[in-house]
Amino acid sequence: MWIWDKKKDAERSLKNYFSLDNFPEIKGYDFEKNFDFKEFLKSYKNMGFQGSNLGAAISIFQEIIEKKVPLYISFTGNMISSGNRELIAYLVKNNHVKAIVTTASAIEEDIIKCIKPFHLGSFEIKGSFLLENLIGRIGNIFVPADRYVYLERFINEVFKNIYKQQKEKNKIFSTHGLAGEIGLYIEKNEYTSKKCKESFLYWASKNKILVFCPGITDGTLGDISVFFKRNHQDFVIDITEDNKFLTSMLMNEETAASLILGGGISKHFLLNAAIFRDGFEYSIYLTTAQEFDGSDSGGDQEEAISWSKIKPNAKRIKVVADATITFPLLISSIIKKRIIEPTH
């Protein structure tokens, strides 16, 4: 064993060894004391492994919110499939977000959940059984096919509205313009109006927070657009306007922060726009993707620094864990309301 091989050397130079006394001590939360939620969150810093990375993310996130640093969020559609939708809506409703970059499925599912819910199922169930019963599966979340019938009706009405403006006013919509129209229509539509205040798109429209969707055709929105385009050959959505607008926003920020849930096109679109300002000053990744295959989804922050997407001296951390576990803990760290004690 290495310690015995080095024993004599260690005994001779014991006084000169590299001391770790100033390093944080690894220690978990003491549940023998009265439970204090704030102290519990702080204890993650000293947990070790990804627990310590989560503790660092909590500290960085609290600083972003306290200093009112403009926060740009990107997330994949599965965040809206899951219960993280409500947490994202909370951030948007309370103006903690400057802009959002997301995927087509996030927009679709935010609309659908204003109509009918998704349901908890199982990771193990046979795909053939679900296919026969017209149920789609997102991990262990089940989505009956009838949801997409309502979605198609909703989106067709939105497309008709923006196409009318295109023809009558020569107005070409970007994806952030389309998302804004959807957010407004959620409040008016007969299917979605009752639950409109649960929608992040609704609150984004109300608070004038832009939602960019670079992969707008990658999903049901794209499927519906195929049929709409067949009947309206000159129908256009201008995605280049999104690049122009987002880069302009970031270039005008003195300081900017990014919070990235998952990877994919939404992550790359946001980080790539930050190149125009030499990167973000703050950045938090919550992801399960690894860097070993060279994908942008798994790319770590050192890689992002090499492309000027994050500044070399940025306050940053990557937490490698499921965002349905880490994101709720992150959001809980900025809640100021009193925690209600259970009654006995």
283: how many CB neighbours lie within 10 A of its CB? 28
Concatenate the DSSP letters of all residues of 267-331 into one string: HHHHHHHHGGGT-EEEEEEEE---GGG--TTT--HHHHHHTTSEEEEEEEEEEES-HHHHHHHHH
Q: Work out whether the CA dihedral 289, 257, 107, 187 comes out positive or negative.
A: positive
- The CATH homologous superfamily of the domain defined by 64-116+146-332: Deoxyhypusine synthase (3.40.910.10)
Annotate 63-76 with b (16+ C-beta within 10 A) or e (fewer).
ebbeeebbbbbbbb
143: β partners = 136
Domain boundaries, the chain: 64-116+146-332
- Provide the whole-model pTM: 0.93
106-125 residue pLDDT tens:
999 999 999 999 999 999 99
Q: Distance between terminal CA atoms of the chain?
A: 55
Q: What is the pLDDT of residue 256?
A: 98
Place of tokens 């270039």: 251
310: β partners = 280
Which residues are the active-site residues?
309
48-57 residue pLDDT tens:
999 999 999 9
Q: How far apart are CA 177 and CA 211, in angstroms?
A: 8
252 pLDDT higher than 60: yes
Residue 213 contacts residue 107 (beta carbons within 8 Å):
yes
pLDDT interval class at 18 (50, 70, 90): confident
Q: What is the pLDDT of residue 72?
A: 98
121-179 residue pLDDT tens:
999 999 999 999 999 999 999 999 999 999 999 999 999 999 999 999 999 999 999 99
Q: How far apart are CA 170 and CA 178, in angstroms?
A: 15
Q: What is the pLDDT of residue 322?
A: 98
**Using the 8-state DSSP alphabet, how is residue 23 labeled?**
S
154: how many CB neighbours lie within 10 A of its CB? 23
Annotate 202-227 with b (16+ C-beta within 10 A) or e (fewer).
bbbbbeebbbbbbbbeebbbeebbee
Query: What average pLDDT score do residues 302-329 get?
Result: 98
- CA distance readout (Å), 340 to 83, 195, 327: 22, 26, 21
* Tally of residues, the chain: 344
